[in-house]
Amino acid sequence: MNIQPKRGDTIVVWFSCGAASAVAAKKTIEKYGMDCCIKVVNNPVKEEHPDNRRFLSDIETWINKKIEIAINDQYPDCSAQKVWEDRKYMSGNDGAPCTVQLKKEARKQWEMKNPFDWLVLGFTSEEQARADNFIRYERRNLIPILLHEGISKQDCIHILQKEGIEIPEMYRLGYPNANCIGCVKASSPTYWNHVRKVDPRVFEARAKLSRELGVRLVRVKGVRIFLDELKPTDTGASLKSMQIECGIFCETHPGKSNS
């Protein structure tokens, strides 16, 4: 795809409080900021680590731009817990309602009020196939800026560290991303035992609500169980290998319906 934003075009960068989207925002401003209007937008979620707000503030200073906030009008407190309680559902084969309401619906509402020409997401050099699918099935106006420059996930962390910017606390705590603490889209016993060790109060809260709603969040040896049934010795894939997506788009693939 020939990507040639014109002078006066608007480019929106969706910032997730992760390292990749932070570097994507910086690179977009450096490359297109003289000719285009660049907007950087974030979907806050109450259950994210508080340090995500510190990181967002640091990135605002680094890119010299205020980051806009996109919120679903129905959930002004941006609480995933509130969504789960309202929907009587936490996660399953069709994804998680918190992602739908606090990410996708918030993005849709923002887009209705803010026309733009191009968008940027933090697809890194490891995610060529994912970016290709996104362009083919979701949006053709994607600028995969990190891919164009061959920047990997680890490169993004190194860039931030070189700039003196502390990466989000979630990474330092051993989590695979900067999503919510105790992300209900995770099903790995390794992940949930990590939550139990690092954030025991969150683990207990997720275990309590999932039991109340009848949601078996964790899978052990192919069998879904409740969190309060998880043994500390149960293991699965390593944390580093996990890709727990909490995207603002559906990223539809062949045979997969939109959510």
Reported as a single tens digit per residue, the pLDDT across 124-163 is: 999 999 899 999 988 899 999 999 999 999 999 999 999 9
Q: How many CB atoms sit inside 10 A of residue 66's CB?
A: 9
Give pLDDT, residue 244: 73
Name the residue with tokens 């996104």: 134
The pTM score is: 0.90
Residue pLDDT, tens place only, 24-42: 999 999 999 999 999 999 9
pLDDT band at 256, cuts 50/70/90?
very low
Q: Is residue 89 part of a domain?
A: yes
Say if residues 192 and 203 touch (Cβ distance below 8 Å): yes
Mean pLDDT of 56-79: 98
Task: Decide if 56 is inside a domain.
Answer: yes
* Cα–Cα distance, 185 to 95 (Å, whole number): 7
pLDDT at position 239 is 82
Condensed to tens digits (0 to 9), the pLDDT of residues 170-184 reads 999 999 888 899 999
Token pair of 119 as six digits: 């968008």
Residue 29 lies in a domain: yes
CA atoms of 67 and 251, how far apart (whole Å): 24
Expressed as residue numbers, the domain containing 37 is 10-169
Residue 114 included in any domain: yes
255 has a pLDDT exceeding 70: no
Report if residue 88 sits inside a domain. Answer: yes
Token couple for 52: 């995500």
Separation CA 239–CA 233 (nearest Å): 15
Strands (E) across 49-174 are located at 68-69, 118-120
Distance between CA 40 and CA 147 in Å, rounded?
A: 19
Please indicate, yes or no, if residue 250 is contained in any of the structural domains.
no
Q: How many domains is the chain built from?
A: 1
Confidence label for 250 from pLDDT (cuts 50, 70 and 90): low
CATH number of residue 63's parent domain: 3.40.50.620
Domain presence at residue 240: no
In a domain, 117, yes or no: yes
